[in-house]
Amino acid sequence: MIKTNLVLEQITNGLQSIVQKVIQEERITEQEGIKLFTEAPLPLLGTLANAIREKKNGNKTFFNKNIHIEPTNICVFDCKFCAYSIKISKKEDAWESTIDEMVDKLKEYEGKEITEVHLVGGVHPKMGLHYFIELIQKIKALRPDIHVKAFTAVELEYMCRKAKVSYKEGLQMLKDAGQDSLPGGGAEIFATEVRDEICKDKCSAEQWLEIHETAHSLDMPSNATILYGHIEKPEHIVDHMSRLRNLQDKTNGFNTFIPLKYRNGNNQMSHINEVSVVKDMRLYAFARIFMDNFNHLKAYWPMIGKKTTQNLLAFGVDDIDGTIDDTTKIYSMAGVEDQNPTMSTDELVSLIKQVGRTPIERDTVYNTVKEY
């Protein structure tokens, strides 16, 4: 699988046995993962990650044609890293769309080749389970073939609790209305000591995992994420990835893994400096090595940036998300470099081809729509 002589030249003492396991496609443990993540030279991680990426997906780099609809930025929770959410007491800075307004947004794309609508926002106390069931039903009535990827586990935990239904009951109701899959948001870092510092009042790691496992049991696939680059330590990163890897062993229900970089604009943790691009590359490459049962690794370009996304295509990444649309505000409000996160299909194809990869338009579950 891997050009062994090139890899072995880069190995320092103590890493040989771990790297040999990777070369032989054997799973590494959490302790081995911590050592590899913290001690391996970046070129070594990149070499290993790229080889795994190419064995799984060849030269292909995936994207889709999607739009984001964000119902509201009003949120009952107080995540310290978030620049997006607004308390009800600060309504002058808030928005809350009606069902008709959100359906009208989708109507703007009539006749356009979009395959997915991504529906995520703040956790509004008055936008509950039945509200969103009605929204999804109207979306499906307008575009029956569109894939509805909706609601983080954080949103789902709250709406099921408020509606007094189990996760299975709530998810089944949403599926019956037309919801097709779940995004991966809200995972942040699973370790309790970190979670208590950055997002203590929202759903626990155990609840997040239970909701995704329940969705998988109902044949609703989902994505998985990690929020990195703030107060977490390497052992927290590896623990987080290990819990996801274990659940994927059990359900095989995750489509892709998406590392999300902490951005420090306009939030309660703005005193924390953002990590460097080099550390981004290390994290992504390690994820590709450690998350051996995930078929895809995504770099979400509006958050990580277009140039870094191109670089990451040599460090394990095979997916860069999609065309998005300027309705996505969650990262622009946190100060990312691209304040208008939208790219045309031609721009996405060009970005991928510039670094020698083959652009593949996919649907949400990675069926090929078109090869460019």
What's the confidence (pLDDT) of residue 84? Answer: 60
Backbone angles phi, psi at 148, to 5 degrees: -100, 110
pLDDT tops 70 at residue 68:
yes
How far is Cα 37 from Cα 104, in angstroms, rounded to an integer?
46
Look at residue 31 in the predicted model and tell me its pLDDT.
98
pLDDT of residue 1: 52
Percentage of the residues of the chain whose pLDDT score is greater than 70? 89
Would strands 358-362 and 60-64 be described as parallel, antiparallel, or unpaired? Answer: parallel
Residue 335 — pLDDT band, cuts 50, 70, 90?
Answer: very low
Q: Output the pLDDT for position 21.
A: 95
Rounded to whole angstroms, the Cα distance separating 265 from 273 reads 10
The per-residue pLDDT for range 336-350, each reduced to its tens digit, is: 455 456 788 899 999
88-104 mean pLDDT: 79
Distance CA 277, CA 260 (A): 13
pLDDT at 214 over 60: yes
Most confident of 265-269, 338-342, 354-358: 354-358
- Give domain limits for the chain: 4-53, 61-371
Q: What is the mean pLDDT of the chain?
A: 90
Give the pLDDT score at 8: 58
**The total number of residues written for the chain in this structure:** 372
CATH classification of 61-371, choosing from 3.40.50.720, 3.30.70.100, 3.20.20.70, 3.30.420.40? 3.20.20.70
